[in-house]
């Protein structure tokens, strides 16, 4: 974005390098945002102003969205099972580039970092075959940081510190979707699925095009949606498309459970907020490491097979080469 890299402070760096998981957000063609959980494994280069994470080529839709609009964000929102004890909430925003075919040396260099956060890599004839797409078909998403916002606590209350570009004014309200703004899923069922997932975040597209990701709490639900609680002034007034992530995890990301929603956020001038989900998807990973790896391997294999069969993988490469 600029000639001088954004260099965040020591306290933010401790969080960035220590957290086991982060919430990655990207924007949608309709002006919304999707937020998902990733394991960044400490990918950070403060001198160059770059952060990142990896994913599988089998998850092509997410990658395609990032290639088409590279405005992304990473929210470091939880200290569970990581290496930092900081109370701070850190939001980094920037422009992404996708390395669809990382060099063998880059993959080798990443291996020890992955081991530190996620445990030993499984090797052997059976594991190599099962985990080929999950390990070898890795994609690196590198973010040229534009702004790092650090709040004093994990609830994102209080006055934040900002490194890089100043924070823009809140984004104006959006026009409601043609299908209406109300919930389009079974609220009771979704609420039940969220009940055991302690980490909950909202994301929307900010006024400068970058996703904004903030921690929230849910204070019940009704036919209009979930009642959202956040510190005063954190949520922009008016209605807009927004994404929602709820998840939980154990050490080394074993026993991961996640729920990803898209929908409509409506915030009154008094700060009362309602989130009406329109879509809901999620999964629960087995609470044992071997079963988790089998599940990850199969999901990556199926996703890669589908993307290759449909031509999505080649389309993604073509899009990336045009950028």
The values of phi and psi at residue 132, to 5°, are -55, -50
- pLDDT (tens digit per residue) in 76-115: 999 999 999 999 999 999 999 999 889 989 988 998 999 9
- The domain spans of the chain are 10-322
Q: What percent of the chain has pLDDT over 70?
A: 96
Give pLDDT, residue 133: 72
Asked if residues 203 and 143 have their Cβ atoms less than 8 Å apart, the reply is no
pLDDT at 312: 67
Helix (H, G, I), strand (E, B) or coil at 304: helix
Smallest Cα–Cα separation from 174: which of 206, 201, 203, 202?
A: 206
Burial class (CB in 10 A: 0-12, 13-18, 19+), 148: buried
Identify the DSSP state of 175: P
Q: Which residue, 145, 164, 43, is CA-closest to 96?
A: 145
Report angle CA 99, 131, 198 to the nearest 5 degrees.
80
pTM tops 0.85, yes or no:
yes
Q: Can you give the three-state secondary structure of 45-69, one letter per residue?
A: ECCCCEEEEEEECCCHHHHHHHHHC
Q: Which residues pair with 107 in a beta bridge?
A: none
Question: 42 by DSSP, 3-state: which?
Answer: coil
CATH architecture for segment(s) 10-322:
Roll (2.30)
Residue for token pair 């949606």 = 225
Ranges of the chain with pLDDT below 70:
1-2, 58-60, 136, 307, 311-313, 323
**Token pair listed for 48:** 């160059």
Distance CA 257, CA 88 (A): 24
């Amino acid at each position: 974005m600029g000639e001088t890299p954004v260099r965040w402070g020591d306290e933010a760096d401790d969080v960035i390098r220590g957290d086991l998981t982060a919430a990655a957000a990207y924007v949608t063609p309709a002006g919304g945002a999707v937020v998902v959980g990733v394991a960044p494994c400490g990918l950070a280069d403060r001198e160059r102003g770059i952060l990142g994470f990896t994913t599988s080529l089998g998850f092509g839709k997410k990658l395609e969205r990032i290639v088409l609009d590279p405005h992304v964000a990473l929210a470091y929102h939880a200290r569970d099972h990581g290496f930092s004890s900081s109370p701070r909430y850190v939001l980094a925003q920037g422009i992404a580039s996708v390395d669809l075919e990382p060099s063998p040396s880059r993959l080798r260099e990443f291996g020890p970092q992955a081991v530190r956060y996620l445990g030993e890599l499984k090797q052997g004839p059976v594991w190599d075959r099962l985990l080929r797409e999950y390990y070898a078909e890795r994609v690196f998403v590198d973010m040229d940081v534009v702004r790092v916002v650090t709040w004093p606590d994990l609830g994102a209350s209080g006055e934040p510190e900002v490194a890089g570009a100043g924070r823009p004014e809140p984004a104006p309200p959006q026009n409601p979707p043609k299908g209406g703004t109300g919930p389009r899923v079974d609220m009771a069922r979704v609420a039940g699925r969220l009940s055991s997932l302690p980490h909950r975040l909202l994301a929307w597209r900010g006024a400068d095009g970058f996703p904004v990701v903030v921690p929230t709490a849910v204070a019940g639900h009704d036919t209009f949606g979930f009642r959202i609680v956040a510190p005063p002034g954190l949520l922009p007034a008016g209605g807009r498309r927004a994404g929602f992530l709820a998840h939980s995890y154990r050490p080394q990301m074993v026993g991961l459970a996640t729920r990803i929603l898209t929908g409509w956020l409506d915030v009154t001038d008094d700060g009362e907020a309602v989130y009406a989900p329109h879509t809901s998807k999620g999964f629960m990973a087995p609470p044992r490491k071997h079963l988790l790896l089998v599940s990850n391997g199969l999901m990556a294999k199926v996703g890669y097979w589908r993307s290759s069969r449909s031509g999505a993988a080649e389309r993604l490469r073509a899009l990336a080469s045009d950028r």
